[in-house]
């Protein structure tokens, strides 16, 4: 397990639907090594979103083992999970999830401000990361003043700023046109070449093909690794 950033063994997750129990994940086991670019591919309702939420410590499994960067997630309380989400994982969402009232710079600085970093240092880092994703001339723009592709770049910068162990991307091209989506996927390939571990959730095989490895999730189970 030494070089695994993610280790899962027999992960199960169910939800109550009235009197019925819906089993969404049925004994998922997987390992993702540091520096990998992995796509989790599956149709709607396959369980991939639930798996993503467990990987991202947004939700916890009913049973099974999950070790993230050497930490046993099952043993963590809510406050500890919140800390892990902020420190270990950089989230990239389909709909960007940016704070509309704030500039790109403030959106990117936000995770560091949550950690207690002083405002000047956090904003200095934010400007640098925005330059690295090609938005050095857009730091004072608010989300609605940016194109979809630019908003996703801000989202990527926000995910990168805390130097997380994992970039977790949920349908990152879902709200973008084909050309812009391709640019974002090429950015992921470059980020992976720089050593970033990326886990990307998608229903689209063509998107998944940009990853180094594809994990197929169907009906709550992994078909192959």
Q: What is the pLDDT of residues 92-109, one digit of tens each?
A: 999 999 999 999 999 999
- How far apart are the C-alpha atoms of 157 and 140, rounded to whole Å? 14
Question: Does position 2 have pLDDT exceeding 80, yes or no?
Answer: no
Q: What is the pLDDT of residue 5?
A: 96
* pLDDT, tens only, 49-97: 999 999 999 999 999 999 999 999 999 999 999 999 989 999 999 999 9
- How far apart are the C-alpha atoms of 67 and 189, rounded to whole Å? 25
Whole-prediction pTM value? 0.94
* pLDDT, tens only, 181-196: 999 999 999 999 999 9
Question: Does position 120 have pLDDT exceeding 80, yes or no?
Answer: yes
**Alpha helices per DSSP H over the chain:** 48-55, 78-88, 104-114, 119-132, 148-161, 178-193, 205-208
Q: What is the pLDDT of residue 109?
A: 97
In this structure, CATH architecture of domain 36-62+77-222: 3-Layer(aba) Sandwich (3.40)
- 3-state DSSP helix/strand/coil % of the chain, to nearest 5: 35, 30, 35
Question: Does position 118 have pLDDT exceeding 90, yes or no?
Answer: yes
Q: What is the pLDDT of residue 84?
A: 92
Q: What is the pLDDT of residue 224?
A: 66
Question: Does position 1 have pLDDT exceeding 90, yes or no?
Answer: no
Is residue 42 within 8 A of residue 204, CB to CB? The reply is: no
Cα distances (angstroms) measured from residue 57 to each of 21, 77, 81, 185: 22, 11, 6, 24
């Amino acid at each position: 397990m030494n070089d695994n950033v993610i280790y899962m063994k027999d992960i199960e997750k169910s939800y109550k639907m009235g009197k019925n129990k819906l089993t969404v994940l049925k004994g998922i086991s997987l390992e993702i090594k540091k520096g990998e670019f992995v796509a989790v591919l599956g149709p709607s309702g396959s369980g991939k979103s639930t798996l993503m939420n467990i990987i991202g410590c947004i939700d916890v499994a009913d049973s099974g083992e999950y070790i993230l960067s050497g930490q046993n997630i099952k043993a963590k309380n809510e406050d500890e999970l919140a800390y892990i989400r902020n420190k270990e994982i950089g989230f990239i969402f389909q709909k960007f999830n940016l704070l509309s009232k704030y500039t790109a710079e403030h959106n990117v600085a936000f995770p560091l401000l949550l950690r207690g970093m002083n405002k000047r240092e956090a904003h200095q880092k934010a400007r640098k990361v925005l330059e690295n994703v090609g938005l050095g001339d857009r730091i004072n723009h608010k989300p609605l003043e940016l194109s979809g592709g630019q908003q996703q770049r801000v989202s990527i910068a926000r995910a990168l700023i805390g130097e997380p162990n994992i970039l977790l991307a949920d349908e990152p091209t879902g709200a973008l046109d084909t050309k812009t989506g391709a640019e974002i996927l090429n950015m992921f390939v470059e980020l992976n070449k720089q050593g970033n571990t990326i886990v990307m959730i998608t229903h689209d095989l063509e998107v998944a093909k940009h990853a180094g490895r594809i994990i197929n999730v169907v009906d709550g189970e992994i078909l192959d690794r």
